[in-house]
Amino acid sequence: MWKVIKGTIAYIPTMYPVLLVLVIDGLSLAFYSSEIPHLFPYEPDKDLLNKLAGLAVISMGVGSTIGGYLCGLVADKKGSRFAGDVGLYGFVFSCAVVQASLFWPSIWLTIITAFFWGFTLFYIEAWMYIVCSRHYHGKSEAYSVNKQLHSVFYLIAQIAIFLTDNDLPLKIIIAGLALLVVPTLLMVRKLPPAAQH
């Protein structure tokens, strides 16, 4: 047992090209699970809020399904590095849509935001599994340990939401997340070659 644990821990540093993707993933998931309903432009009555939140969740679900599926198609056709670039540029676009909904609040823009956020988040999630399989010889145990980084940043974001009573400077946070893509793109360039099948 210790041999397996030791081997897994020793393998983690070789996965550094994807670590910032996990940071983006964890923070994106926190936004996905906590912030979308707060983008609606006014405080509707409870019944209407529930309906609008339901529409946003449906929109996220549709986006998530399409994003996860499309990532596999892009990776098969163009390779996992290209697919990763698409996911990260898509994330920047999603951040831009969020900023638009913060500056010009509307119900439909919030629902569109939910779609693109779900699309990007699950595209990136699918990409991580593709990378683990193709570039790291299927070392899923190392990916599982690395994925704790995703969980740590998700937890940090949720604690911040709780402590601030959900009064975070979202415009600044979303801009920071978009900027985080720059070093992430550079790190992804360091992926080891894909394993030959």
Q: Please state the three-class secondary structure of the chain as a single string.
A: CHHHHHHHHHHHHHHHHHHHHHHHHHHHHHHHHHCHHHHCCCCCCHHHHHHHHHHHHHHHHHHHHHHHHHHHHHHHHHCHHHHHHHHHHHHHHHHHHHHHHHHCCCHHHHHHHHHHHHHHHHHHHHHHHHHHHHHCCCCHHHHHHHHHHHHHHHHHHHHHHHHCCCCCCHHHHHHHHHHHHHHHHHHHCCCCCCCCC
pLDDT at 24: 86
CA distance 179 to 176: 5
pLDDT at 166: 73
**Architecture of the domain defined by 21-36+45-188:** Up-down Bundle (1.20)
Query: Pick from 196, 187, 69: which is nearest to 135 by CA?
Result: 196
CA angle 35, 62, 50 (to 5 degrees): 45
pLDDT at 29: 82
Domain ranges of the chain: 21-36+45-188
**pLDDT 10s digit of each residue in the chain, 197 long?**
456 555 555 656 677 788 888 888 888 888 877 777 677 776 656 667 677 778 888 998 899 999 999 999 999 999 888 999 999 999 999 999 999 988 888 888 888 998 999 999 999 988 988 888 787 776 655 555 556 777 777 788 888 878 887 777 888 888 998 998 999 999 888 888 776 55
Rg (CA), the chain: 18
Q: Which two tokens stand for residue 123?
A: 């595209």
Determine the residue type at 54. G
Which are the contacts of 64, defined by CB distance < 8 A and separation ≥ 6? Answer: 118, 119, 121, 122
pLDDT at 138: 66
CB neighbours (10 Å) of residue 92?
16
pLDDT at 82: 93
pTM for the predicted model, two decimal places: 0.82
pLDDT at 115: 94
CA distance 63 to 67: 6
